[in-house]
Amino acid sequence: MTLQDIVQEARTLSIFERQQLIKVLVDTLSEPVISSKQHDLIELAGLGAEIWQGVDAQAYVNQLRDEWDERP
């Protein structure tokens, strides 16, 4: 059934029934979308690794700590 078919069918309803249909449709918009596929946290391993290429971890932490002392 296409959207056009549904619209045609809706036109045959009484005004009250159309109002009820609209309410049902609007209520479905607030329902959370649930993904059918479950994801595992392990899938995120290595994500964004390219951002840290060539960055020395200890030097980065030291830089952050130095910035703490400079903040008001």
Give the pLDDT confidence score for residue 45 in this predicted structure: 92
Supply the pLDDT for residue 71: 73
Distance CA 62, CA 39 (A): 35
- Inter-residue contact 10 to 18 (CB < 8 Å): yes
For 24-62, write each residue's pLDDT tens digit: 998 888 877 777 778 888 989 988 899 999 999 999 999
pLDDT at 68 over 80: yes
Region 11-35 average pLDDT: 88
